[in-house]
């Protein structure tokens, strides 16, 4: 590391918050280009999207070059993430040139580089958390793979048994198609049965044939769905936690090393002990966290320097990073602005009584009661004039509550950053007020009601009711625990975005335009079969699933989300109609691609069900397990002691 002033300035610039945000903005814009490229939600000409992409790439390239200036060249080229980004950008350019040339000459080709886009998110310098998550998954893979192989083995054994026991029975689903007649079909049917999605279809005919076959299916589901899925959860949970712990330990080690080096630079010798004096320390903290208050800084120093020696040793110095990370909320008991402006009125008897009332517990109960009554009114028919007028009364009551609270408590304290519920209340009530007024204005002006506005009003009304949760302590505890997993969930969200984006891009290239959506009032006969003759008389078209398609990036994301969260949705693609669906999707393709399409869906299901969902569950489990045995760190405690 080069400690020259110029290098330091470059480094500080590199770490500037705005640049971090900008990088993410450019990446997001690049990802969002999928909305405008063919197959598009909003179609833009090719030159526009290409130009946008070039700008984004340029920005990222600049960022990488900046990074290469900041750190030594040797380290830069040894780091896989930098090499990755360079390779990705090169591939982007190559693909863009090829695609552009083919497009200009009238040929169409595949924009394969779009699949690589989310990798930018992973490999950019700011994506440490995400890289760590991916590394954790990669490290957990060997163990997951072992369980997965065993699971596949069990699946194969059960399929063989199903083939032998049920294949000759000539069983037919309600739709009249026979099943379990071919080994690969059996494997596939049983894989879908994992999600218990097609259970009545494949189970009831066998059960009707003989009660003993129910035992076969129940055994299958207990072993494969419940036992193996639990084992997957155990393995993922354990590995993810273990590797994350390992990474954190590494991180802590590196941090300590760096702090130790900083200490060596800053130390002065008093006697034989190397120490850091208070003045240097203060200077350092001022540099590192300029927005920290003097009182806060002195508090921190007094914690490190127990005995008021005016200097601290190495051990105490190493705590600085942890100490600076502890959020100390400075609750300044500022006087209420009204008290400054009109003290006589604000301190009058009536005003004091209002304060007493607002701070009283009964005030909270009264408003909880109001919310409950409001819930009943929401449930009633809003066409009734009594109900729609009552809405104004409720709005007034809620507004009154907020105003009273603002009158009693200091506004800046009321809207402090950690006062989640106050913010929630105010925003919901104000937007509800706004929407209701707009709605009323529209109605009175022309008797016309906008459905969108009305929907928003309804949603806001219902959301208001959530406030009740805040008054019940045990509910609040659960919600708090859940909100605590918010920050790690952000990383997790990026991880999901990466996985979904890749699958969406591949899916769009494979299946775009195979299914068409028709307006509800369309009279086109093709509407009966989603615009694809292959789907004629299929359950897929009959059940109106046409909207589940890969025609644009939004539909793709929704379809993938459905496949993730709704077991039934694998059925939606599978059921008796899965084969139709696949056949249809791969309509013009060869038999090889037919299998490839099936692999696409199963692969997605495996990745998502086995890894993504289990990580999600692991997060929640971990948050609650920690909640149940939470202990504050020593530093926290000593900080609290000092404050008292």
- Residues 571 to 600 in contact with a second copy, rule: CB under 8 A: 571-572
Buried-state track 39-69, b at ≥16 Cβ within 10 A, e below 16: beeeebebeebbebbeebbebbeebbeebee
Each residue 595-614 as x (binds a second copy by CB under 8 A) or -, in order, gives ------------------x-
Beta bridge partners of residue 272, listed in sequence order: none
Compute the least distance from the CB of residue 163 to a second copy, in Å: 7
| 639 closest CA partner among 320, 330, 329, 300 | 300
- Residues 141 to 160 in contact with a second copy, rule: CB under 8 A: 146-147, 149-150, 153, 157, 160
Rounded to 5 degrees, what angle do the CA atoms 465, 467, 469 make? 105
- Residue number with CB closer to a second copy (305 or 368): 368
174 binds a second copy (CB under 8 A): yes
Find all residues with CB under 8 Å of 410, minimum gap 6, and list them.
Answer: 333, 334, 335, 336, 337
468 binds a second copy (CB under 8 A): yes
625 binds a second copy (CB under 8 A): yes
Q: Which stretch binds a second copy (CB under 8 A): 1-9, 105-113, 223-231, 589-597?
A: 223-231
Each residue 350-379 as x (binds a second copy by CB under 8 A) or -, in order, gives -------------------------x--xx
368: exposed, middle or buried (C-beta count within 10 Å: 0-12, 13-18, 19+)? middle
- Residues 328 to 347 in contact with a second copy, rule: CB under 8 A: none
Instruction: Answer yes or no: are the C-beta atoms of 178 and 170 closer than 8 Å.
Output: yes
- Residue number with CB closer to a second copy (10 or 558): 558
Q: Which stretch binds a second copy (CB under 8 A): 246-254, 323-331, 338-346, 459-467?
A: 459-467
469 binds a second copy (CB under 8 A): yes
Find all residues with CB under 8 Å of 250, minimum gap 6, and list them.
Answer: none
Q: Which stretch binds a second copy (CB under 8 A): 11-19, 354-362, 465-473, 579-587?
A: 465-473
Q: Which stretch binds a second copy (CB under 8 A): 59-67, 404-412, 463-471, 521-529?
A: 463-471
Rounded to 5 degrees, what angle do the CA atoms 249, 250, 256 make? 90
3-class SS at 192? helix
545 binds a second copy (CB under 8 A): yes
**H/E element, 469:** none
Compute the least distance from the CB of residue 622 to a second copy, in Å: 9
Buried-state track 570-589, b at ≥16 Cβ within 10 A, e below 16: bbbbbbbbbbbbbbbbbeeb
- Residue number with CB closer to a second copy (233 or 318): 233
Sign of CA dihedral 260, 264, 267, 270: positive
Q: Which stretch binds a second copy (CB under 8 A): 7-15, 68-76, 454-462, 493-501?
A: 454-462
- Residue number with CB closer to a second copy (455 or 528): 455
- Residue number with CB closer to a second copy (160 or 270): 160
Instruction: Answer yes or no: are the C-beta atoms of 366 and 358 closer than 8 Å.
Output: no
| 326 closest CA partner among 644, 638, 12 | 638
Q: 268: which DSSP letter?
A: E
Compute the least distance from the CB of residue 437 to a second copy, in Å: 19
- Residue number with CB closer to a second copy (68 or 154): 154
548: exposed, middle or buried (C-beta count within 10 Å: 0-12, 13-18, 19+)? buried
- Residue number with CB closer to a second copy (247 or 622): 622
- Residues 232 to 251 in contact with a second copy, rule: CB under 8 A: 233-235, 237-238, 242
DSSP string, 390-426: HHHHHHHHHHHHHHHHHHHS-HHHHT-TT-HHHHHHH
- With CB under 8 A as the contact rule, the residue among 59, 152, 466, 579 that binds a second copy is 466
- With CB under 8 A as the contact rule, the residue among 9, 359, 542, 642 that binds a second copy is 542
Q: Which stretch binds a second copy (CB under 8 A): 60-68, 108-116, 118-126, 457-465?
A: 457-465
483 binds a second copy (CB under 8 A): no
- With CB under 8 A as the contact rule, the residue among 62, 218, 403, 437 that binds a second copy is 218
How far is residue 37's CA from residue 155's CA, in Å, rounded to a whole number?
41
Q: Which stretch binds a second copy (CB under 8 A): 256-264, 294-302, 495-503, 568-576?
A: 568-576
459 binds a second copy (CB under 8 A): yes
Compute the least distance from the CB of residue 262 to a second copy, in Å: 36
521 binds a second copy (CB under 8 A): no
Q: Look at the block and give the residue holding tokens 């591939």.
A: 91
- Residue number with CB closer to a second copy (319 or 481): 481
* Tokens found for residue 235: 């393995």
121 binds a second copy (CB under 8 A): no
- Residue number with CB closer to a second copy (341 or 628): 628
Compute the least distance from the CB of residue 305 to a second copy, in Å: 40
Instruction: Answer yes or no: are the C-beta atoms of 209 and 168 closer than 8 Å.
Output: no
177 binds a second copy (CB under 8 A): no
**Can you say whether residue 43 is alpha, beta or left, with left for phi > 0 and alpha for psi between -120 and 50 degrees?**
beta
* Tokens found for residue 6: 């110029």
């Amino acid at each position: 590391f080069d400690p020259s002033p110029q290098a330091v300035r470059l480094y500080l610039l590199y770490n500037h918050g705005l640049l971090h945000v900008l990088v993410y903005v450019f990446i997001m814009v690049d990802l969002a280009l999928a909305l405008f490229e063919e197959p598009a939600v909003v179609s833009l000409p090719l030159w526009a999207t290409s130009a946008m992409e070039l700008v984004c790439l340029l920005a990222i390239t600049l960022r990488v070059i900046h990074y290469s200036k900041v750190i030594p060249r040797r380290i830069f080229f040894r780091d896989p993430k930098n090499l990755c980004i360079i390779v990705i950008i090169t591939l982007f350019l190559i693909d863009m040139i090829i695609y552009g040339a083919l497009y200009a000459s009238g040929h169409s080709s595949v924009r394969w580089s779009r699949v690589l886009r989310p990798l930018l998110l992973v490999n950019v310098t700011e994506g440490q958390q995400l890289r760590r998550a991916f590394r954790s998954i990669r490290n957990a893979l060997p163990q997951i793979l072992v369980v997965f192989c065993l699971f596949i083995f069990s699946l194969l054994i059960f399929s063989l048994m199903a083939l032998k026991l049920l294949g000759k029975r000539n069983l037919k689903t309600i739709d009249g198609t026979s099943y379990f007649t071919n080994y690969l079909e059996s494997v596939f049917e049983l894989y879908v049965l994992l999600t218990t999605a097609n259970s009545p279809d494949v189970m009831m005919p066998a059960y009707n044939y003989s009660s003993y076959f129910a035992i076969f299916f129940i055994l299958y589901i207990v072993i494969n769905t419940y036992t193996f899925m639990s084992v997957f959860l155990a393995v993922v949970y354990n590995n993810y936690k273990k590797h994350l712990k390992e990474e954190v330990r590494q991180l802590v080690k590196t941090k300590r090393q760096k702090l130790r080096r900083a200490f060596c630079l800053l130390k002065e010798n008093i006697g034989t002990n190397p120490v850091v004096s208070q003045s240097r320390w203060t200077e350092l903290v001022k540099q590192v966290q300029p927005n920290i208050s003097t009182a806060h800084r002195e508090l921190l120093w007094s914690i490190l320097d127990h005995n008021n020696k005016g200097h601290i040793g190495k051990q105490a110095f190493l705590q600085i990073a942890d100490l600076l990370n502890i959020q100390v909320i400075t609750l300044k008991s500022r006087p209420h602005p009204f008290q400054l402006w009109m003290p006589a009125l604000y301190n009058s008897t009536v005003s004091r009584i209002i304060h007493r009332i607002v701070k009283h517990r009964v005030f909270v109960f009264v408003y909880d009661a109001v919310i409950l009554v409001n819930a009943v009114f929401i449930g009633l028919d809003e066409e009734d004039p009594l109900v729609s007028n009552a809405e104004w009364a409720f709005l007034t009551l809620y507004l009154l509550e907020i105003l009273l609270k603002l009158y009693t408590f200091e506004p800046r304290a009321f809207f402090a950053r950690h006062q989640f519920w106050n913010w929630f209340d105010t925003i919901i009530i104000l937007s509800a007020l706004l929407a209701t007024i707009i709605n009323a204005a529209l109605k009175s002006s022309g008797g016309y009601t906008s459905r969108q506005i009305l929907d928003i009003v309804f949603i806001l009304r219902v959301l208001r009711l959530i406030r009740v949760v805040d008054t019940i302590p045990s509910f609040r505890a659960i919600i708090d625990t859940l909100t605590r997993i918010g920050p790690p969930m952000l990383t997790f969200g990026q991880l999901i975005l990466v996985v979904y984006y890749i699958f969406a891009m591949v899916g769009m290239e494979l299946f775009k335009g195979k299914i068409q959506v028709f307006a509800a009032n369309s009279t086109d006969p093709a509407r009966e079969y989603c615009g694809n003759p292959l789907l004629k008389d299929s359950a897929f078209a009959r059940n109106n699933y046409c909207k589940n398609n890969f025609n644009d990036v939004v539909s793709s994301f929704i379809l993938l989300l459905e496949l993730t969260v709704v077991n039934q949705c694998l059925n939606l693609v599978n059921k008796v109609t899965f084969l139709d669906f696949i056949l249809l999707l791969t309509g013009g393709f060869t038999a090889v691609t037919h299998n490839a399409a099936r692999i696409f869906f199963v692969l997605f299901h495996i990745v998502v069900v086995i890894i993504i969902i289990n990580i999600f569950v692991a997060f929640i489990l971990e948050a609650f397990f920690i909640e149940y045995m939470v202990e504050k760190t020593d530093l926290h405690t000593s900080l609290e002691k000092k404050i008292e």
